[in-house]
């Protein structure tokens, strides 16, 4: 069964039409949102190949990227220009887009027919053009992928330039005649999930004129933090991703470029020039576009530090921002809160691309999923009243198990890295000694504590060998029903019925399978985690040899989140060595002795943290979701 939403009228209706206004004053801006008054079936579908001014595949010719365009015919016939919604992706012919893995399709003449996702179906009838760009080296574009580097970013930036009359487009992949985007008003909004949203971040960080807004969904802000974590390696590298997305684009030899990727992404986890080129958070001061972020707080693929550091850097740059945070893993909000997402996105684009005075910029800054399908608005993110709070571990009667409070502490604790540990194994028996981790908890809370923002931990550890890894996590102990983010759907189930979002044309369906929350009951929830190589204690740019028996102090980040630990639950800190589900370990696992007086965790809290020890945690084994991360960057 299909349910239709927002169907386009079959003919053009003048009443209620919103004419794009880019520079109108507040008094002049229209207050009525864009309506579906344009004929989608009769929309213009075409391709422009934009010269990006690079020769990434070394064939002696400038690379051209394919920009597939669908736009309503009526505005151009009336001499009016329209804004653009753009999704630049490497996946249009390799992995597909969306929950149903849609691909681009073309007719026998090579003209675009099928546009993945609902953006064209919904927004073209409302007066927008939708442009889907193949990154260099993918689908119908020439060149090579460089996984977030200059080629990827320029692939999309040059299309923004072309839409503003600053770059050259052609009617063919090679040769052809010059084509201009005379129908474009120059205003561009970029959107996309994962790699696509990452490119939106990268283009915004160039400060390119004409980019009015971006909507990065589960996106990377620094490629270092996708492949590495404070010196530790997640065990996979960018050249593998490049080869995956280039597989269906014949004609280019990208072996030289891929070799550069392999060489640049050094295995030792040091942060160097390769990663700096791909660090958009460090370039956030250049961003002029507004930013609407969406991310799952349980995303173990594009880990949440990516939205956290991006969000903070954008705030320092004075960028207008909005954020949605779900309990899901790597999932698009269209697939966990469909109607509300489409409505909010519609208002966002209407405001920032058409100048509609709909008040979206004055609505609550943050919307957070507290329990499956239960949402709460916040006036700010991190939450209002948040305070950086230092919690310290205290030794208890049981070895390796103690309390966590704001009070000063002393003593030591030890564990051995067996190179095969995992967060669920470390957390499952919180009151028992483990040879492979230490655990400190607040005891039962009398009032709730909200963790909102990015935590960090400072550890002083003495290794028994010349190399060592550290893993740390914050755990909410207490029964809860959560989205099953480690299952195949990462917190959603896909049904068989469909709802339709916009207009359908031959070869371009607007209908998508309904999804629902996939939930599970747990005894504890890991709410934040982080990893580090102790050899990077001095600097992320260069590791230093460790001397066995000598103490080293290192501070590293834990994942960004927004989570309420309810009253009667317990907040705990767990410290271990190699978490084998996430990072690669050293050649030999060391014994690590923790100096408790010089170890602490800094947590952004709303509420009052315990100043003294609390009650012990239960002795029974507890369960959580499986924690092996999903590694499909779609």
Instruction: State residue 367 phi and psi, 5-degree precision.
Output: -130, 125
Residue 45, domain member (yes or no):
no
Percent of the chain whose pLDDT exceeds 70: 91
Q: Residue 601 — very low, low, confident or very high, per pLDDT cuts 50/70/90?
A: very high
What is the spatial distance between Cα 240 and Cα 21, in angstroms, rounded to a whole number? Answer: 44
300 is a domain residue: no
The model's pLDDT over 242-284, given as tens digits with 9 standing for 90+, comes to 999 987 666 678 999 999 999 999 989 999 999 999 999 999 9
The whole-number pLDDT of residue 31 equals: 62
Q: Is position 395 within any domain?
A: yes
pLDDT in tens, 61-77: 999 999 999 999 999 99
Return the minimum-mean-pLDDT range out of 2-11, 305-314, 486-495. 2-11
| pLDDT value for 612 | 75
Does 143 map to a domain?
no
Cis peptide upstream of residue 382 (ω within 30 degrees of 0):
yes
185 classed as catalytic: no
192 CA to centre of own chain: 10
Q: What are 193's two structure tokens?
A: 């999930």
- Does some domain include residue 102? no
**Cα distances (angstroms) measured from residue 535 to each of 263, 413, 511, 547, 594:** 21, 20, 52, 10, 16
Quick: pLDDT tens for 87-102. 999 999 999 999 999 9
Identified catalytic residue from 63, 185, 279, 299 = 299
* 293 found inside a domain: no
In this prediction, residue 611 has a pLDDT band, given cuts at 50, 70 and 90, of confident
Question: Which CATH number do you get for residue 391?
Answer: 2.60.120.260
Residue 589 lies in a domain: yes
Rounded Cα–Cα distance for residues 548 and 464 (Å): 5
What would the DSSP string read from start to end of 252-315?
Answer: ---HHHHHHHHHHS-TT----HHHHHTBSGGGGGG--SEEEEEEETT-SSS-THHHHHHHHHHH
**pLDDT greater than 60 at residue 9:** no
Q: Residue 325 and residue 297: Cα distance in Å, rounded? A: 6
Instruction: Say if CB 604 and CB 452 are below 8 A apart.
Output: yes
Helix (H, G, I), strand (E, B) or coil at 471: strand
* Domain presence at residue 408: yes
First to last CA, the chain: 28
| DSSP label at residue 239 | H
Q: Which long-range contacts (CB under 8 A, 24 or more apart) does 98-105 make?
A: 98/332, 98/334, 98/335, 98/512, 99/331, 99/332, 99/334, 99/335, 99/492, 99/494, 99/512, 99/513, 99/515, 100/512, 100/513, 101/634, 104/68, 104/132, 104/139, 105/507
Q: How far apart are CA 271 and CA 230, in angstroms?
A: 8
Rounded distance between C-alpha atoms, residue 45 and residue 170, angstroms: 15
Is 402 a residue whose pLDDT tops 60? yes
CB 495 within 8 A of CB 515: yes
Better pLDDT: 27 or 482: 482
Q: Is the alpha carbon torsion for 349, 516, 201, 104 positive or negative?
A: negative
**CA distance linking residue 235 with residue 94, whole number of Å:** 23
194 an active-site residue?
yes
Q: What is the pLDDT of residue 614?
A: 61
Burial classification of residue 465, based on how many CB atoms lie within 10 Å of its CB (0-12 exposed, 13-18 middle, 19 or more buried) = middle
The domain total for the chain is 1
Say which of 295, 330, 346, 569 is annotated catalytic: 330
Q: Which helix (H) or strand (E) holds 151?
A: helix 150-163
**231, 583 contact by CB (below 8 A):** no
pTM to 2 decimal places = 0.93
Average pLDDT value over all residues in the chain: 92
Residue 453: which domain range?
387-492+519-606
Considering the candidates 184, 194, 434, 624, report the single residue annotated as catalytic.
Answer: 194
Q: Is residue 416 over pLDDT 70?
A: yes
């Amino acid at each position: 069964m299909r349910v239709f939403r927002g169907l386009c009228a079959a003919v053009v209706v003048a009443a209620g039409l919103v004419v794009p206004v880019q520079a109108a004053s507040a008094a002049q801006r229209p207050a009525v949102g864009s309506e579906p008054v344009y004929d989608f079936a009769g929309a213009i579908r075409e391709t422009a190949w934009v010269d990006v001014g690079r020769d990434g595949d070394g064939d002696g010719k400038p690379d051209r990227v394919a920009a597939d365009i669908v736009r309503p015919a009526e505005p151009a016939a009336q001499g009016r220009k329209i804004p653009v919604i753009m999704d630049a992706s490497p996946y249009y012919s390799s992995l597909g887009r969306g929950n149903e893995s849609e691909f681009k399709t073309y007719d026998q003449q090579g003209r675009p027919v099928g546009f993945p996702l609902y953006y064209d179906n919904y927004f073209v009838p409302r007066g927008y053009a939708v442009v889907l760009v193949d990154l260099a080296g993918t689908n119908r574009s020439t060149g090579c992928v460089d996984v977030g580097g200059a080629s990827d970013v320029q692939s999309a930036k040059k299309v923004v330039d072309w839409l503003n009359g600053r770059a050259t487009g052609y009617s063919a992949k090679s040769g052809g005649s010059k084509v201009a985007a005379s129908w474009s008003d120059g205003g561009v909004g970029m959107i996309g999930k994962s790699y696509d949203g990452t490119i939106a971040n990268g283009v915004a960080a160039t400060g390119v004129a004409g980019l009015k807004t971006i909507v990065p969904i589960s996106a990377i802000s620094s490629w270092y933090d996708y492949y590495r974590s404070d010196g530790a390696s997640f065990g996979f590298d960018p050249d593998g991703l490049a080869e995956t997305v280039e597989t269906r684009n014949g004609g280019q030899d990208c072996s030289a470029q891929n070799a550069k990727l392999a060489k640049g992404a050094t295995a030792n986890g040091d942060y160097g020039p390769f990663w700096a080129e791909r660090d958009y958070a460090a370039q956030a001061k250049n961003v002029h576009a507004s930013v609407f972020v969406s991310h799952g707080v349980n995303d173990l693929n594009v880990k949440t530090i990516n939205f956290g550091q991006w969000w903070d850097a954008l705030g320092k740059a004075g960028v207008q921002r909005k954020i949605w945070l779900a309990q899901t893993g790597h999932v698009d909000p269209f697939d966990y809160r469909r109607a509300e997402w489409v409505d909010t996105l519609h208002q966002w684009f209407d405001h920032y691309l058409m100048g509609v005075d709909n008040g979206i910029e004055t609505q609550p800054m943050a919307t957070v999923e507290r329990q499956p399908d239960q949402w709460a608005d916040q006036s700010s993110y991190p939450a209002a009243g948040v305070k950086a709070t230092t919690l310290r571990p205290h030794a208890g009667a049981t070895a390796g198990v103690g309390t966590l409070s704001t009070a000063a502490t002393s003593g030591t604790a030890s564990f051995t890295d067996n190179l095969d540990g995992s967060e669920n194994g470390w957390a499952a028996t919180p009151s028992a000694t483990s040879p492979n981790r230490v655990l400190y908890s607040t005891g039962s809370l009398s009032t709730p504590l909200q963790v909102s923002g990015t935590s960090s931990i400072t550890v002083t550890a003495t290794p028994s060998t010349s190399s060592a890894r550290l893993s740390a996590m914050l755990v909410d102990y207490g029964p809860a029903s959560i989205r099953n983010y480690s299952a195949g759907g990462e917190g959603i189930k896909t049904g068989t019925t469909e709802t339709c979002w916009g207009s359908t044309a031959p070869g371009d369906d607007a209908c998508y399978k309904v999804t629902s929350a996939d939930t599970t009951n747990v005894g504890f929830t890991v709410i934040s985690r982080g990893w580090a190589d102790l050899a990077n204690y001095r600097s992320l740019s260069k590791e230093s040899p460790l001397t066995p028996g000598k103490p080293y102090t290192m501070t590293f980040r834990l994942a960004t989140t927004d989570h309420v630990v309810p009253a009667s639950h317990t907040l705990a800190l767990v410290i271990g060595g190699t978490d084998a589900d996430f990072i690669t370990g050293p050649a030999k696992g060391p014994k690590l002795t923790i100096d408790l007086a010089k170890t602490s965790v800094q947590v952004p809290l709303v509420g009052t943290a315990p100043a003294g020890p609390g009650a012990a945690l239960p002795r029974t084994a507890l369960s959580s979701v499986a924690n092996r991360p999903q590694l499909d960057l779609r």
